Structure 1
């Protein structure tokens, strides 16, 4: 089965957005470098709206490319789905998306897109594993990600740490109850205005 990776960009003090769901400067490093993530200005990965695509530092490009190439499925919560309208049926990476929600997919919403809705985090990961095969599953951090971690269903935690302090907001691990031990980071990559870290979850 594919590796389940909880992943997000995060502030130094552990927030993925402020109290109004604004990400502030957290994603600026995606557009401030000189290296396209895909090796060229591929419009498939241009979600900036400005036609320039993602351009990061050379170190970040290598790391992000390998991450994106490995992902087959994204698991997200309904709140994020509604905020971004499911990326209009075109996820930034991977071929499939599983949304944790008690509400079904909106009627008539992008019927061509491989988006699936599951009522529980356990069902969501089971569906994601079915769709992913041997490819990785990326779980968006936040409340749903924290629930999946607490359920023992996450294999790795990946954090793109940006040097900013929010003070309050939406926590990377949501409202997780109890401790989860991680191994020492097995990936540490210093980019420009971001530090990429990956930890295996201790079993």
Structure 2
């Protein structure tokens, strides 16, 4: 069974978006280099349908590419889904998306897309693991990610830290309560305008 990794880009003061859901310069590093995210630089993998259009530094591309290629399922909250309109049925990576929501999938919304709506975070992870098989389940950080982490279902925390201070906004770890200990970072990669970190959860 693949690992469950909580993942997002974050400001140095711990925010994944501002109070109005704006990301400001958090994603600038996806476009500040000359290395495409796909090894073949597939022209059909355009920005409207995935990760095309991204031009990262060589160092970041070498870190992000194998991680994204290993993801089978993305787990996200309904707010994120609504904000992005579910990437119009074309997630940037993975074959399936599980949305934690008490509301069903919008009627008529991309029936061909493998999007599953589950009303409980724990059940969402179980569904994602079933769909992912041996591949990674990527859990979007924020409130839903924090609930999944608090339930002890996260194996690793992956953070792309950008050198900007937001001051307020949507927190990477949401409104999680209590202390949760992470191990020493087992991945530390310095890109251009971003620091990639991965931590395993302590048992």
User: Does residue 192 of the first structure (1) align with residue 192 of the second (2)?
Assistant: yes
Q: What is the match of residue 90 of structure 2?
A: 90
Matched residue of 2:26: which SS?
helix
Q: What is the match of residue 69 of structure 1?
A: 69
Runs of 4+ in 1 over 3 A off after TM superposition: none
Q: What is the match of residue 101 of structure 2?
A: 101
Measured after TM superposition, the shift of residue 52 of structure 1 is 6.7
Measured after TM superposition, the shift of residue 2 of structure 1 is 1.1
Find the aligned partners of 2:44 and 2:114 in 1 and give their Cα distance. 17
Q: What is the match of residue 110 of structure 1?
A: 110
| Structure 1 gap segments, 5+ residues each | none
Measured after TM superposition, the shift of residue 158 of structure 1 is 0.1
Matched residue of 2:5: which SS?
strand
Find the aligned partners of 1:93 and 1:44 in 2 and give their Cα distance. 14
For the Cα contact (< 8 Å) 1:16–1:170, is it kept in 2? yes
Question: Alignment length, in residue pairs?
Answer: 202
Matched residue of 1:164: which SS?
coil
- The CA RMSD over aligned residues, in Å, is 1.4
For the Cα contact (< 8 Å) 2:38–2:52, is it kept in 1? no
| Structure 2 gap segments, 5+ residues each | none
Deviations 1:90-145 (A, max 9, x none): 00000000000000101111000000011100110000000000000000000000
* Change in 2 beyond 3 A, CA 1:45/1:198: farther
Find the aligned partners of 2:163 and 2:98 in 1 and give their Cα distance. 31
User: Does residue 165 of the first structure (1) align with residue 169 of the second (2)?
Assistant: no
Alignment TM-score, normalising by the size of structure 2: 0.96
For the Cα contact (< 8 Å) 2:34–2:55, is it kept in 1? yes
Matched residue of 2:165: which SS?
coil
* Change in 2 beyond 3 A, CA 1:19/1:2: same
Find the aligned partners of 1:133 and 1:61 in 2 and give their Cα distance. 25
Q: What is the match of residue 143 of structure 2?
A: 143
